[in-house]
Amino acid sequence: MTGLQRAGRWIGEHLVLALGLLVMVYMFVPIAVVMLMSFNDNSKSRNVYAFQDFTWSNWAHPCRPNGMCDAVVRSIEIGLLATLVATILGSLAAFALVRHDFVGRSAANTVIFLPMASPEIVMGSSLLALFVASGFGGRLGFVTIFIAHVMFCLSFVIVTVKARLTGLDENLEQAAMDLYASEWTTFWRVTFPLVFPGVAAAALLSFSLSFDDFIITNLNAGQTVTFPMFVWGVAQRGIPMQVNVVGTVMFLISMFLVLGNMLATRKKVAA
Amino acid sequence: MSLAADRASRSLRLTALTKEFATFTAVRSLDLEVPAGSFFALLGPSGCGKTTTLRMVAGLEVPTSGSIHLGDDEITYEKPYRRPVNTVFQNYALFPHLDIHENVAFGLRRRKVKDVDRQVKEMLALVELESQAKKKPPQMSGGQQQRVALARALINRPEVLLLDEPLGALDLKLRRAMQIELKRIQTEVGLTFVHVTHDQEEAMTMADTIAVMNGGVIEQMGSPAELYENPRTTFVANFLGQSNLIAGSVASAEGDVVRVDMHGNQVSIPAERAHARSGEGWVGIRPEKVLLAPAGEPIDAPGNHLTGGIVTDVSFVGVSTQYLVQMPWGQELMAFEQNTGRRAVLAKGTKVDVSWRPEFSFLLPASQDVNAGVLEEA
Amino acid sequence: MRRGRFTGYWLMLPAALWLALFFVIPFYSLLATSLYDPEGSVLTGYDVTYHFANFVDALDDFWEPLLRSLWYAAVATAICLVLGYVLAYAIAFKAGRWSSLLLVLVIAPFFTSFLIRTLSWKLILADDGFVVDTLQFLHVLGDDSRLLATPVAVIAGLVYNFLPFMVLPLYASLEKIDGRLIEAAGDLYASPSRGFLKVTLPLSKPGVIAGTLLTFIPAAGDYINASLLGSPNQRMVGNVIQNLFTSTGDYAAAGALSVILMAIIVAMVMVYIRTAGTEELV
């Protein structure tokens, strides 16, 4: 009887965790499949939705599919550029919102929240409507994609940096000024190092949002092909296995960055 | 090691200093002189303007009007990083991204002082943290962080060291230990310390001079003993320790004695302790100065003698016993009695006589609020 | 510390301008587009003729995918809420020192291409794949039934893709709950389940609201899952808008449909927030 009760209690204690882990597995199954398929040799069959034979060739020749690597490079270019601009503008705005009181601050907060709460299809078609109405309908491409990406990354940057800034004790800056640091020195010696993790996280988020965006990009890209658009284009015909290589690499790089950062902070605390 | 300021230390002078915020006035036309080398405490309940005053001295808040002088130099509008004043912040404000060594070195590095490492080591030795130099602030206990904050400010040898509730975050035992420690360091280095606190015991333990602030003004300033024994206002009487305040009216004021009629009882008060010379007033007496004896038994106190009290509450607190005694006019007086064992503890309901030496009592104007400063400590 | 009176404006200006130019003004362009003369085309150009009939026509032609989008998004959001709550609860209260690692793992899929992950589901749910075979073996599915090209596949894809949007806000609000409150509930004679219903759940309400909105809104506008995992029978409003804009060139209808979608979402969000009663969203 007590054994049964103990078993019941054990299940009660661990049931939620077990279910949570199951959800976690659900989230990772597709990624595991992507990794697996990056080693799939489908040269003997046209079926791209089943694992046929093991091969290294997708990894050895990632650029074999026509236009894929160009699309990846273009996505990286747009991603870096959009990240740079969005991170700078967004960080400045976050400082304004946290550290300065000005007329229209709450309105600004609302406008910043809206892009995160609007369906991409609506934002994308609005932007397209603007470009068409202002005569850029025929000149869609790199620049219009860049504009769109900065637009939707901005809100995420502002929110991320704001969170970090809000958690920053203003006493620290006052302490620095009390200890003979000028405003400039205070910013670079105290404020910036403490806000930097937030800025870095915002930049990482921006890049991945930009690199991954399809719906808004597709509406405003004209003839320019980004990596997600390439995938969309080939998805109808059957994707080349090298797409899975790119997916795997993206996943590994981001895990490396995020886990590395986590271990670094943990080590600092433990030291 | 000699920490005395390179320059001869100068006195700090605040003149008609005022700070208004959008909705209220935090500090009203404050005049204050802090002599060089003193340990000065600004004491008051939260919101009394003491921290705002401190921040204006530090340069972290710009006064609305008035001036701040250090010796003959005006520093009212000087940037915080251009005044020889350093602060120990309430929650220490240690830089979390720098280790202890670099935290302490921060001010020296900004001023491009040579020989930073040696000075930091000496400073850390003074606060007994040499072995912790490589740690980051979040890894340290509250008491250690407090000492780092102190070292970080002291190493700059400021002319004035400001301490904003520096012990507020520590538990009682550690606070007592740090009070003694702070006092020792101040005596050793001989700098001017201006200490803001709401803890009257802390202020009395450490400071040479206390200014009691309330509602943006200084109520009274003086040595701890002076403030305690001869308060000028009901606020000081209640905020600094406890007081019995009994309504009465001045019967005569001749020579150096003021006689007061207190519900039919005549009591006398020395003239230098009577802050009202006519009309109605509050007769004040500290609870430990009130002596009790069972009704009719002699009490060793010449002068003020009241009869007809009844003990209504007895609390035994170890070193002393605290009584509440209801007087014939209905008011309950507090009396603290040392447990010397001279007489058994009086039981609840005992009829008692009450007495005190006239030189311990004081008289305050009736216009003041009898409850000012009660329970505001905390 | 004295601060420049206009510093705030200067810092805010570039981002504000960008958002005004490329987020706020486009909404007006979209409104204008929705009122174009429907006879216009890319070749002949478009005129704003205040042709309000566009809205009626759009609803008339596309009410079905519109309703389907809202329905799919609602079902997917409900499933996300259940799964996300379990996961967020496990991370917040049961994972101990592993919680930060698990949290990282929740956002990790974010960093892998949305399209590639969705295509991966196509493989998992394929007709001769493991999942379909198992379900057929268990007689959950008929022998020639399939999962792909069914609402089940589309909704499963939506759940999968938007689950992190649910987990993160839920975790954020669960993590703030003081564990002693739950203990106090237990001390005051609440069974664990009542403690959860009366203490944990109400306190996590801000997270529930934020999470459901952040899941529902993108799900309602999504068309990737419907395209890759569904068939034309599972067409959602996003598919229609996308097609009208890029293939058909019917800007007026596309604009009108976008405006309708946005209006429905704004209305639902406002009703939802008012009923749920929270101001903590921004």
- Number of structural domains (chain B) is 2
Q: How far is B63 from chain C (nearest CA, A)?
A: 11
Q: Tell me the per-residue pLDDT of B87-145, one tens digit each, with 9 for 90 and over.
A: 999 889 999 999 999 999 999 999 998 899 999 999 998 888 889 999 999 889 888 99
Residue B1 clears pLDDT 60, i.e. is over it: no
**Considering the domain boundaries, does residue B272 fall inside one?**
yes
Question: Which of these three, B180, B200, B229, is where a domain ends?
Answer: B229
CATH number, domain containing residue B310: 2.40.50.140
From residue A257, give the alpha-carbon distance in Å to each of A253, B9, C106: 6, 54, 15
Tokens of A33: 């499949």
H/E stretch holding A24 reads: helix A2-37
- Chain A residues with CB under 8 Å of B107 CB are 179-180
DSSP symbols for A132-198: HHTT-GGG-SHHHHHHHHHHHHHHHHHHHHHHHHHTS-HHHHHHHHHTT--HHHHIIIIIHHHHHHH
Q: What DSSP designation does B345 have?
A: P
Q: Which of A117-121, A237-241, B300-304, C8-12 has the lowest mean pLDDT?
A: B300-304
Mean pLDDT, chain B, whole residue set: 89
The distance from CA B177 to its chain's CA centroid, rounded to whole angstroms, is 17
Question: Which of these three, B229, B247, B270, is where a domain ends?
Answer: B229
H/E stretch holding B281 reads: strand B280-285
- Chain B residues with CB under 8 Å of C4 CB are none
- Decide: pTM greater than 0.90: no
What pLDDT does residue C55 have?
84
H/E stretch holding A206 reads: helix A192-212
Domain that holds residue B56: 12-229
A270 touches chain B (CB under 8 A): no
Q: How far is B111 from chain C (nearest CA, A)?
A: 20
Residue B378 clears pLDDT 70, i.e. is over it: no
Pick the residue from chain B with its C-alpha nearest to A268. B136
- Inspect the interface and report whether the beta carbons of C2 and B62 lie closer than 8 Å: yes
**Contacts of the segment C145-153: beta carbons below 8 A, 24+ positions apart:** C148/C122, C148/C229, C149/C229, C149/C230, C149/C231, C149/C233, C149/C234, C150/C230, C150/C234, C151/C72, C151/C230, C151/C234, C153/C121, C153/C125, C153/C229, C153/C230, C153/C234
**Considering the domain boundaries, does residue B18 fall inside one?**
yes
Enumerate residue ranges in chain C where pLDDT < 70.
1-5, 38-50, 277-282
Question: Which of these three, B229, B255, B285, is where a domain ends?
Answer: B229
Q: Domain check: are B168 and B257 in the same one?
A: no
Question: Domains of chain A (ranges plus CATH)?
Answer: 2-58 (no CATH), 66-239 (1.10.3720.10)
Residue B66 clears pLDDT 90, i.e. is over it: yes
A101 touches chain B (CB under 8 A): no
Residue A271 pLDDT class (50, 70, 90 cuts):
very low
What pLDDT does residue C278 have?
52
Average pLDDT over residues B142-171: 89
Q: Domain check: are B197 and B248 in the same one?
A: no
**Considering the domain boundaries, does residue B102 fall inside one?**
yes
- Inspect the interface and report whether the beta carbons of A180 and B139 lie closer than 8 Å: no
What pLDDT does residue A193 have?
93
Q: Domain check: are B155 and B36 in the same one?
A: yes
Q: Tell me the per-residue pLDDT of B356-373, one tens digit each, with 9 for 90 and over.
A: 998 899 999 998 888 888
Q: Domain check: are B194 and B138 in the same one?
A: yes
- Chain A residues with CB under 8 Å of C89 CB are 16, 20
Q: How far is C139 from chain A (nearest CA, A)?
A: 22
- Chain B residues with CB under 8 Å of A198 CB are none
Residue A50 clears pLDDT 50, i.e. is over it: yes
What pLDDT does residue C94 have?
82
- Inspect the interface and report whether the beta carbons of B60 and C1 lie closer than 8 Å: yes
What pLDDT does residue B4 have?
46
CATH number, domain containing residue B208: 3.40.50.300
Q: Domain check: are B81 and B203 in the same one?
A: yes
Pick from A169, A174, A179: which is nearest to B60 by CB? Answer: A174
**Considering the domain boundaries, does residue B116 fall inside one?**
yes
- Chain A residues with CB under 8 Å of C105 CB are 24, 27-28
What pLDDT does residue B377 have?
43
Whole-angstrom distance, CA of residue C249 vs CA of residue C270: 33
Q: Tell me the per-residue pLDDT of B169-226, one tens digit each, with 9 for 90 and over.
A: 778 888 888 888 888 888 888 889 999 999 888 899 899 999 999 999 999 999 999 9
**Considering the domain boundaries, does residue B1 fall inside one?**
no
Strands B244-254 vs B192-197: parallel, antiparallel or unpaired: unpaired
**Considering the domain boundaries, does residue B374 fall inside one?**
no
Residue type for position C163: L
Instruction: Kindly list the domain boundaries of chain C, sorted by start residue.
Output: 64-236
Neighbors of chain A by Cβ distance (3+ pairs < 8 Å): B, C
Pick the residue from chain C with its C-alpha nearest to A47. C123
Q: Tell me the per-residue pLDDT of B16-32, one tens digit each, with 9 for 90 and over.
A: 999 999 888 999 999 99
- Chain A residues with CB under 8 Å of B54 CB are none
**Considering the domain boundaries, does residue B130 fall inside one?**
yes
Burial C38-56 (b: 16+ CB within 10 A, else e): bebeeeeebeeeebeebbe
Residue type for position C127: D
Q: Domain check: are B99 and B115 in the same one?
A: yes
Length of chain A: 271
Pick from A171, A189, A271: which is nearest to B89 by CB? Answer: A171
- Inspect the interface and report whether the beta carbons of B60 and C2 lie closer than 8 Å: no
Residue A180 pLDDT class (50, 70, 90 cuts):
very high
Average pLDDT over residues B60-72: 93
Pick from A17, A33, A122: which is nearest to C258 by CB? Answer: A122
**Considering the domain boundaries, does residue B2 fall inside one?**
no
CATH topology of domain C64-236: MetI-like fold (1.10.3720)
Q: How far is A181 from chain B (nearest CA, A)?
A: 6
A184 touches chain B (CB under 8 A): no
B139 touches chain A (CB under 8 A): yes
Q: Which of A126-130, A144-148, C166-170, C242-246 has the highest mean pLDDT?
A: A144-148
Neighbors of chain C by Cβ distance (3+ pairs < 8 Å): A, B
Whole-angstrom distance, CA of residue B323 vs CA of residue B349: 11
